[in-house]
Structure 1
């Protein structure tokens, strides 16, 4: 929570902090429970804007110094070397000057407006109307901080009373959630849960603040004893957000569990694990093996999707056809398909942990280790290509890139076809030499693509840097090697299983 408060106070944007949290949760870098704390803190941190604007823009007479601050900042900004420490320091000074002159102009404009607009026009409506106006304005301009500055300027000019301003502020607090909701529309289900958490939290505390608006204002003016209306408003803003955090904090774990039940991640069936008790090691290892095979097939299908390659001949095998049909029926987005792989990995790991708690013999432990190695490598293969998916999209938008893209697809599909053929076999009798040849083919493809990318970069037909092209090739190489290693682990696990069965029959 402290991180959310400080980050928002520094960045002066709760929407930006919330979008960063959405991205981190969607990438699996931040657990939902921890993300809630950052969201709570961001709501409190955004209230600091009101305090700063009131203190610097309305209570201190800095008009005589504003132009000097802008001049100093702009001169230093232009004279400093780009990306040097002084460059950024002067940029801050320049930005502060622009902020102050903007506030000065807004005060002057509001003072002019107050001369020909009757303040009574804004005083005869129910508080809920001002609340909805605050929601609408903030949703349109996508900044609760900007709305707060407008409200403070209107108060300073005497256009609106404290109660009206307070209702507008409460509305702006809810309106700022629109940014995160829009950002999560095409994101993963994990990111959607964060957006829902942000909206639910703000909706709850804002409705309570609207209901308790008059008592809270009385608390600020009479109990706390703040006499200045503008400081009363910003204190009210901080107070109801702080009370909301106090209300939600004890229920954070329950709130997180409730969110986890929303937007369930689409997943490939894991009935083998659900119906196989870990207390029967041989059956449990077979169930993990079959799930790991499906995971490898899902990874290959996801990688093909990242490359935008055609796969009619690749999905003719019974196992990959079944997995492909299951995913196709659910019309999963690329991100959801990746999350499906992560979810399957998690379930297999959790089941394996329960299996490891039983009395496994050395051979069974070795088999389990190979199976977990396959799961780990398959997931890493999917992640490697996912990391350069954006670069591949940029490459597709370059002139004369189709030949290079076709080469990338063809070489990858050749490797995938070989690997799928192995996975389709019930008991492939392969040795390390066979996989060494597959790795050698992948390495040769990597070198050939390296040369082609070098030539393409020198042709001058593209805007991508050579380092970006090489990064695509490197991640493609790592991805293909990882899925090959995953299938090698599966092959080794089968060899160990066959050895155990022979010993049992001897």
Structure 2
């Protein structure tokens, strides 16, 4: 065997594959950053309507350029309870269709322009100032790397013809009978499992097919096997998750296994169908540098992949409710509530920063709702002659929960910011960490208000009726202020200060007036000093609550 030719083959194949994979990642990261909030809204639109869920799966996978990322994301959402199993099943089916876009990108006859595209986009990426331009450049840079990597792999595969022993080994994989189809599908499955990327395996398959090392039917069988191999990523991600998340991963495996099983039974007729649709020229040779190449097989391989996944989805879509019932029966739930932490955050979502930042934002919104409830409970307890112990315990418990939620959000966002994210996502992450801290501080001061009242009662005192009335009104005005801020947070309204500033000033003036009133009561000497001190401490706590609410408003408005 020619050692020099073998070395050239290995070096070029490994190098080309590396460039191809890096290009896919850059293309994915760039498209996700450019898609921005649209992608976030799209995931939020998933309902139990299976067709809508499938459509979302298709679009998201086309954007992120990886069915593995989408399915792992689904496992994470189902694991955290954000997405129901039926919704997850629909998105996974759509992801299988969306992943076929890679093949059609490679159909574009711009292989020889891969290197110039890469170079021009690299300059745009390095020297542009705007985030949007940089990420558009990153997308084009990724596309250039994909095509350049594919050209390098094609050149490497052409070397195989100079190695007769090596070429003979490839000819052992031939989809000319049912056993041969199964053998090729198994090879595609194993290779995809090893490299953890169906796109990489597709690139290798296309390189081999276009150089004539393997026939089109063999390449088609390899692609079918890749559909099974790609399920390993979601399966591994489901280990140690909730029952519903494991059900989603098991569905992904079963869906692809069953699909490959039935298509192999009709494989010769399926290949004839593709050739009938695209025409007989897909197996025509084109001479390049004195060697026969088969460039038309690229579109045939892409069509084979797409039509199979669409047909498989159409076959399954009517049975989604039945599939969910079977999964629930086959994978029974546990007799206790499965939730390892308080939030719906899941590290599996971190691979998609836009989805991750949206999930942490939802947790901030939950914290804001928790603070509103605590304010309502606090004023109820203040006015009760005999405080409801259950309600008091609930208030204390909610304060501890918000402490833990803030820790989980901060930890999650810190992990997110440690990866390569856009400036916009990084800025939003920092804002979220600040807001989580502000809401947690609000909960602390609300809890301290109840502590002042309880301590007075234990010592045999109570706030006077007038003091309780004044504190109740102040609580009501703060709740109104907090409600405006929380609504702005949900709507992402950056003009929040225009509406909230007057409320903030009114509360500030109200607290000042109550302090003056308290000094007058102190001078009269009719109220016990302990009550006056507790009342003043309560006013200070309300001042701090108002300050922290204002900090949230300024963060939303992005003034600091």
In structure 2, the residue matched to 1:177 is 231
Structure 1 residue 181, shift from structure 2 partner: 0.4
Note closer, same or farther for the CA distance 1:381–1:261 as it changes in structure 2 (3 Å cut): farther
Note closer, same or farther for the CA distance 1:379–1:150 as it changes in structure 2 (3 Å cut): farther
**Matches of residues 58-457 of structure 1 in structure 2 within 5 Å?**
60=109, 62-63=111-112, 65-81=113-129, 84-116=131-163, 117-118=167-168, 120-123=171-174, 126-222=180-276, 225=279, 227-229=281-283, 230=297, 231-268=299-336, 385-386=404-405, 388-389=407-408, 391=410
3-state SS, counterpart of residue 181 of structure 1? helix
Structure 1 residue 261, shift from structure 2 partner: 3.1
- Aligned mates of 1:377, 1:37 — CA distance in 2: 41
- Aligned mates of 1:394, 1:45 — CA distance in 2: 29
- Aligned mates of 2:393, 2:204 — CA distance in 1: 58
Structure 1 residue 67, shift from structure 2 partner: 3.0
TM-score, structure 1 as length reference: 0.55
- Aligned mates of 1:221, 1:31 — CA distance in 2: 40
Root-mean-square deviation over aligned CA pairs: 3.9
Once the two structures are superposed, what CA deviation does each residue of 1:239-265 show, in whole Å capped at 9, x if it has no partner? 211111111111111111222334444
3-state SS, counterpart of residue 158 of structure 1? coil
3-state SS, counterpart of residue 319 of structure 2? helix
Structure 1 residue 41, shift from structure 2 partner: 0.7
Structure 1 residue 84, shift from structure 2 partner: 1.4
- Aligned mates of 1:234, 1:39 — CA distance in 2: 20
In structure 2, the residue matched to 1:50 is 103
Once the two structures are superposed, what CA deviation does each residue of 1:94-130 show, in whole Å capped at 9, x if it has no partner? 2222112111101111111123223534338722221
- Aligned mates of 2:58, 2:412 — CA distance in 1: 36
- Aligned mates of 1:372, 1:42 — CA distance in 2: 46
Among 76, 80, 90, the residue aligned to 1:27: 80
Contact residue 220 and residue 226 of structure 1 kept, 8 A: no
Note closer, same or farther for the CA distance 1:115–1:371 as it changes in structure 2 (3 Å cut): farther
Structure 1 residue 75, shift from structure 2 partner: 1.1
In structure 2, the residue matched to 1:37 is 90
Count of residue pairs brought into register by the alignment = 316
- Aligned mates of 2:160, 2:115 — CA distance in 1: 24
Structure 1 residue 199, shift from structure 2 partner: 1.0
Structure 1 residue 386, shift from structure 2 partner: 4.7
Structure 1 residue 30, shift from structure 2 partner: 1.4
Contact residue 173 and residue 180 of structure 2 kept, 8 A: no
- Aligned mates of 1:107, 1:242 — CA distance in 2: 29
Contact residue 382 and residue 479 of structure 1 kept, 8 A: no
- Aligned mates of 1:210, 1:99 — CA distance in 2: 30
Contact residue 409 and residue 433 of structure 2 kept, 8 A: no
- Aligned mates of 1:248, 1:145 — CA distance in 2: 24
Structure 2 alignment gaps of length 5 or more: 1-53, 284-296, 343-388, 415-428, 451-560
3-state SS, counterpart of residue 212 of structure 2? coil
3-state SS, counterpart of residue 192 of structure 2? helix
Contact residue 75 and residue 245 of structure 2 kept, 8 A: yes
- Aligned mates of 1:11, 1:466 — CA distance in 2: 25
Once the two structures are superposed, what CA deviation does each residue of 1:385-442 show, in whole Å capped at 9, x if it has no partner? 35633746999xxxxxxxxxxxxxxxxxxxxxxxxxxxxxxxxxxxxxxxxxxxxxxx
Contact residue 385 and residue 475 of structure 1 kept, 8 A: no
- Aligned mates of 2:444, 2:329 — CA distance in 1: 32
- Aligned mates of 1:131, 1:69 — CA distance in 2: 34
- Aligned mates of 1:88, 1:120 — CA distance in 2: 43
Contact residue 385 and residue 476 of structure 1 kept, 8 A: no
Once the two structures are superposed, what CA deviation does each residue of 1:124-160 show, in whole Å capped at 9, x if it has no partner? 8722221111111101111111111111110001111
Structure 1 residue 266, shift from structure 2 partner: 2.8
- Aligned mates of 2:193, 2:446 — CA distance in 1: 47
In structure 2, the residue matched to 1:489 is none
Structure 1 residue 31, shift from structure 2 partner: 1.6
Contact residue 188 and residue 222 of structure 2 kept, 8 A: yes
Structure 1 residue 78, shift from structure 2 partner: 1.0
Contact residue 62 and residue 101 of structure 2 kept, 8 A: yes
